[in-house]
Structure 1
Amino acid sequence: MSKQRDDKVMSKTTGLDPAEDLDHRSIVLVGLMGAGKSSVGRRLATELGLPFKDADTEIEKASNLSVAEFFERHGEEAFRKGERQVIARLLTGPRQVLATGGGAYMDEDTRTLIAEKGISVWLRAELDVLYKRCMKRNNRPLLKKGNPRKILKDLMDERYPIYGLADLTADSGEGPHEIVVGKIVSALASLPKHNRTASDQ
């Protein structure tokens, strides 16, 4: 397992080559709802010249249901199964920046796959930031089960130790998403090259 590294803001002109320097691996963003995975992911993909995929969007396309509708009709267990399958499919495809749902990294099989096929980046955010962002659009199924702030706090307590297993951590605060992108690019540039898999050789 890769050791977590401190990240620093760095100029976008890092000279990072995602094909060579990242050993053909996808960048997989993990973290709680409201951490900015989709917004940061789009900007990061543009910066690295890679396509961007959002796991939740891909699930919606595959099921022809919104995430909220899927939860309501089929329940969380069925959603997690479908999520696992979608992420597995995406990670066996071309390199990309992939934003995952908040619960995806909690699944051990999914974590193992991400470790094999990608470089995981935890977007870490404080409770106030998450709550403020989530309340802008109150469409999160898990937050409809009670007090949203308490639910977020409970999810932080449960999930942050697992998110901490990610290869890299970038703090996502109140500032522009470009700052977070700069942190991630800097941290990626400082990574030693991963050992190539047999398929890369």
Structure 2
Amino acid sequence: MRQGFKFALPVKAAKVPSGPDWLHEIKHDGYRMMVIREQKVVRLLTMNGHDWTKRYPWIVESALRLRQERFVLDGEAVLLGVDGVSDWSGLHSRKYDNEVQFYAFDILAGGGDDHRKLPLSLRKQNLAALLARRSDGIHAASYEQGEIGPDLFRHACLMGLEGLVSKHRERAYLAGRCAHWVKVKNPKHPAYRRVQDQFRDRAK
């Protein structure tokens, strides 16, 4: 469990898949990372390989309270505002690091077993079992299944959320860009504009 875990990355799309085999997750505006626990040692690793274990103590403490002593979770570190919506500005400011929580949407390993070859539907079950006795700083990200995807995206946009990530329920976890992970962003969300600004800066 010390190495070999690389992030699966969604492809961008303009439309949300609507077939019965798709799971749809709300996209939180946070930092993507893995939570890795090996017995009494917990590490928080970002997509760029940075170790942020000391940055978010609540996540670390919550991971240590879970009964299982070996696991690898994929998800996002999120700061929630008073309205329950992720607060990117507050997260980025680092003024509230001790309030940052982790929303796990996948489990790559648990109890010494590698789960990456399992279909997403089974990985979701394993994740729910791990987090059944809820630890306040780590949550299983909620999701919906099937034809509801486009409607869910419209409601997410109306609520000012970042968008959706849709994933095929029968696919394994694969490192790199995955055609069966589809991200559709709310064009009115600040995160969308941040990406556009970064693209323009690189083009200069």
TM-score, normalised with respect to structure 1: 0.30
Higher strand share: 2
Structure richer in helix, relative to its length: 1
TM-score by length of 2: 0.30
**Structure of greater relative contact order (alpha carbons < 8 Å, 6+ residues apart):** 1
